[in-house]
């Protein structure tokens, strides 16, 4: 038979573990970037986080495969940045700090406005 003290202690431990897991997931957010070709020569990207928060002011660079910066900018108040499509191969680099970096290759960019 389990003592009442043990059962109470077990419930407290489980409650604390559950609260810890919930608080960790509440603070977890991953960067998300979507880029779309909105015209023959214009790309539009939107950056945000998986928790739904926007990322205004976050740096977004367009890079050549040789790591040369082709376009450098920051996301506007709507977390958007539009730029002229570079000639040749490129990728978009979203850098919101350590652990929050995303690359989008030009081959992944589809037609239509970024949502």
Question: What pLDDT digit, counting tens, does each position of 66-113 carry?
Answer: 999 999 999 999 999 999 999 999 999 999 889 889 999 999 999 876
Measured distance CA(19)–CA(52) in Å, rounded:
22
Residue 29 pLDDT more than 70?
yes
Q: How many CB atoms lie within 10 A of CB 100?
A: 15
Helix (H, G, I), strand (E, B), or coil: what is residue 34? strand
98 vs 15, more confident: 98
Q: Residue 88 — left, alpha, or beta (φ > 0 → left; ψ -120 to 50 → alpha)?
A: left
Max CA pair span of the chain: 75
Fold designation for 31-111: Immunoglobulin-like (2.60.40)
Would you say the pTM of this structure is higher than 0.85? no
Helix (H, G, I), strand (E, B), or coil: what is residue 18? helix
Domain ranges of the chain: 31-111
Using a 10 angstrom Cβ sphere, with 0-12 exposed, 13-18 middle and 19 or more buried, the burial of residue 29 is middle
């Amino acid at each position: 038979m389990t003592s009442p003290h043990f059962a109470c202690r077990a419930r407290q431990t489980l409650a604390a573990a559950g609260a810890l897991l919930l608080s960790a997931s509440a603070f977890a957010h991953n960067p998300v970037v979507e880029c779309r070709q909105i015209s023959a020569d214009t790309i539009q990207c939107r950056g945000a986080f998986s928790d739904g928060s926007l990322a205004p002011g976050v740096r977004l660079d367009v890079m050549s495969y040789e790591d040369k910066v082709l376009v450098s900018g920051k996301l506007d108040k709507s977390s958007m940045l539009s730029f002229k499509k570079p000639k040749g191969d490129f990728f978009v680099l979203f850098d919101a700090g350590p652990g929050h970096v995303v690359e989008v290759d030009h081959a992944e960019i589809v037609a239509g406005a970024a949502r």
